[in-house]
């Protein structure tokens, strides 16, 4: 099957895999196999190996798989590795989605095996194999696409591909040579590897596939596991870098004036900060309902623990979802809220999706940081490598991707929201603990993550280590007062337009909405 014809088929199967709750990331598993402290669990690794062998014996028929793969090379050894890694990846993803922690757990192993087996029964084991080859092919070719060439010995020792083990890399080298993706050049009696024209085209094809399928976006949410030796929870990071975050969230919730008994949806990249810490549950009271849709792929369990400690009586539900399609019926909420979201998504499309789930006359509201002076001396010195990387890749890009105030207002209008109201406030960012600051930026700021995804794994680690070292030097030379920044924030809300019915119906809908009738675009400053 031609690669251009294969893209839509493989892209769809990858999406089906994600929807089935199955995940596959060799980087994640190879870090785990290396004994990383945050992924300890020898019994789970051994159990996954036994289950992989069992699935192979029961489900793999070599003649059938080969006929379904067409001209894609088949290896029983790679198939066994694929099954083992898809089980372990799914275990980690399950733990991360439910508890916000990347780890191995015996209790998640059985669920992971069940999900993998159900997906294979529905889609076919050859599709799991094809997805595995696509992901590994991307990871193996990426360093060559970035560096253009390097010594074969460095490749086989994993210099540019760690944490891939050398016993896997030699198989992929043979596979790449058989597919004419690599070629050798002799340099002082050593062989240098480089991509052929076909290899470069194949890498571009794989990158497009992983991007369009949503794989790279999903990978970003777990990538911190193989970026940092000791990853912190998001709550720890936010508390360290944004010390007044809870106060700002409560200020935003108070400004919204959500009435008792309202049905509220929060879209969050992590723990539902407005629903619990911001006080929405307390504000709507026992008769209200609060739903949090976590679009980050993590944090459900931590939110549950926070919920138990919160003591509010309103009903709360947590769902997984996507910014492209929230798992909620049309017009099912009075208000939909979010914080620090718009610079990480397609803002107009996302606001339209938020608008879809609120009733006519309902409110869509966002707390959004906006552009500020990023070229403060200490910031420029600390993050100069990222500035340079971003300029090389996208000369006119805005660092951090933070929007201007006018952009935020225009997004609400373009999304069809009416009676847009804006109030300005500020938050404090403290650049003190170098490792926590770097983790916060690379986990919480999507443009940073997107830049990393374009680099080979070893480049990530080198860049992160350099930033932590630079941060330590900056913290020694600049007093804390100079490393504490006031970040401008916009509190923005607009209403979903009323149905085109009678004037009386429209007036009733507006009168029922929290906060009273709004006209035009209002701006205030705190």
- The per-residue pLDDT for range 443-490, each reduced to its tens digit, is 766 666 666 777 787 787 788 889 999 999 999 999 999 999 998 999
H or E element that contains 115: helix 106-123
Cα gap 208→365, rounded to integer Å: 33
User: Beta partners for 496?
Assistant: 417
As to burial, measured by CB atoms within 10 angstroms (0-12 exposed, 13-18 middle, 19+ buried), residue 167 is exposed
Q: Calculate the average pLDDT of the chain.
A: 82
Contact (Cβ atoms closer than 8 angstroms) between residue 267 and residue 341: yes
Element containing residue 335 per DSSP (H, E): strand 333-339
- Residues 429, 433, 438, 439, CA torsion sign: negative
- Say if residues 196 and 180 touch (Cβ distance below 8 Å): yes
Going by their DSSP bridges, the two strands 358-369 and 484-496 should be labelled as antiparallel
Between CA 396 and CA 394 the distance in angstroms is: 6
Q: Is 435 left (phi over 0), alpha (psi -120 to 50) or beta?
A: alpha
Chain segment 71-99, per-residue pLDDT in tens: 888 999 999 999 999 999 999 888 877 76
CB 124 within 8 A of CB 68: yes
Res 227 pLDDT > 50: yes
Inter-CA distances, 299 with 9, 41, 272, 340, 497, Å: 32, 21, 9, 16, 33
> Which tops the pLDDT comparison, 401 or 27?
27
Instruction: Give me the pLDDT at residue 270, please.
Output: 63
**What are the helix (H) ranges across 124-214?**
125-147, 152-156, 166-178, 197-212
Confidence band for 505, pLDDT divided at 50, 70 and 90: very low
**Which band of pLDDT confidence, cut at 50, 70 and 90, is reported for residue 70?**
confident
Higher per-residue pLDDT: 374 or 119: 119
Residue 106: which pLDDT band, with cuts at 50, 70 and 90? Answer: confident
Q: Are 162 and 227 in contact (CB under 8 A)?
A: no
pLDDT recorded at residue 104: 78
Three-state DSSP class for residue 107: helix
The secondary structure of residue 39, as a DSSP letter, is G
Three-state secondary structure readout of 202-241: HHHHHHHHHHHCCHHHHHHHHHHHHCCCCCCCHHHHHHHH
Mean pLDDT of 263-288: 85
| β partners of residue 45 | none
Tens of pLDDT, residues 322-341: 778 888 999 999 999 998 88
Could you tell me which of 466, 475, 378, 469 has the C-alpha nearest to residue 432?
475
Residue 382 · residue 482 · CB < 8 Å? no
- Res 50: pLDDT: 94
| Residue whose pair of structure tokens reads 């976006």 in the numeric block | 217
79 three-state secondary structure: helix
How far apart, in whole angstroms, are the C-alpha atoms of residue 336 and residue 357?
A: 8
At what angle are helices 300-310 and 76-99 packed, to 10 degrees?
20
- The residue behind tokens 């929201």 is 417
What mean pLDDT comes out for the span 143-157?
89
> Between 188 and 311, where is the model more confident?
188
């Amino acid at each position: 099957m031609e690669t251009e014809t294969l893209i839509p088929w493989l892209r769809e199967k990858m999406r089906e895999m994600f929807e089935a709750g199955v995940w596959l990331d060799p980087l994640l598993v190879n870090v785990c196999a290396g004994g990383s402290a945050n992924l300890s669990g020898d019994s789970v690794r051994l159990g996954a190996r036994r289950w992989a062998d069992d699935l192979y014996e029961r489900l793999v028929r070599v003649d059938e798989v080969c006929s379904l793969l067409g001209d894609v090379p088949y290896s029983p050894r790679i198939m066994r590795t694929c099954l083992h890694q898809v089980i372990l990846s799914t275990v980690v993803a399950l733990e991360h989605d439910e508890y916000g922690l990347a780890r191995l757990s015996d209790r998640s192993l059985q669920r992971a095996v069940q999900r993998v087996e159900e997906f294979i029964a529905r889609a076919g084991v050859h599709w799991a194999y094809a997805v595995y080859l696509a992901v590994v092919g991307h990871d193996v070719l990426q360093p060559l696409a970035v560096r253009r060439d390097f010594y074969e010995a460095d490749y086989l020792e994993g210099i540019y591909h760690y944490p891939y083990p050398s016993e896997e890399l030699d198989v992929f080298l043979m596979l790449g040579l058989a597919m004419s993706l690599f070629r050798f050049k002799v340099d002082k009696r050593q062989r240098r590897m480089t991509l052929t024209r076909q290899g470069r085209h194949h890498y571009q094809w794989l990158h497009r596939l992983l991007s369009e399928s949503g794989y790279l976006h999903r990978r970003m949410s777990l990538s911190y596991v193989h970026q940092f030796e000791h990853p912190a929870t998001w709550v720890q990071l936010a508390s360290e870098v944004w010390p007044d975050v809870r106060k700002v969230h409560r200020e935003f919730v108070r400004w919204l004036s959500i009435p008792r008994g309202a049905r509220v949806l929060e879209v969050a990249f992590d723990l539902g900060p407005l629903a619990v810490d911001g006080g929405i549950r307390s504000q709507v009271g026992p008769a209200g309902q609060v739903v949090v849709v976590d679009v980050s792929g993590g944090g459900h369990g931590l939110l549950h623990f926070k919920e138990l400690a919160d003591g509010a009586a309103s009903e709360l539900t947590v769902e997984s979802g996507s910014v492209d399609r929230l798992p909620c019926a049309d017009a099912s909420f009075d208000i939909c809220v979010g914080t620090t979201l718009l610079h990480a998504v397609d803002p107009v499309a996302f606001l339209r999706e938020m608008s879809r789930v609120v009733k006519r006359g309902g409110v869509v509201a966002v707390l959004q940081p906006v552009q500020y002076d990023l070229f403060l001396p200490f910031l420029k010195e600390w993050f100069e490598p990222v500035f340079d990387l971003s300029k090389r890749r996208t000369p006119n890009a805005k660092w951090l991707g933070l929007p201007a105030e006018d952009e935020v207002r225009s997004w609400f209008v373009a999304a069809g929201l009416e009676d847009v109201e804006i109030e300005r406030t500020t938050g404090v960012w403290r650049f003190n603990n170098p490792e926590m600051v770097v983790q916060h930026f690379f986990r919480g700021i999507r443009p940073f993550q997107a830049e990393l995804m374009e680099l080979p794994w070893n480049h990530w680690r080198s860049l992160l280590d350099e930033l932590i070292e630079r941060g330590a030097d900056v913290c020694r030379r600049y007093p804390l007062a100079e490393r504490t920044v006031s970040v401008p924030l916009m509190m923005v809300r607009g209403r979903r337009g009323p149905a085109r019915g009678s004037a009386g119906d429209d007036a009733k809908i507006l009168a029922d909405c929290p906060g009273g009738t709004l006209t035009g675009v209002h701006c205030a400053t705190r």
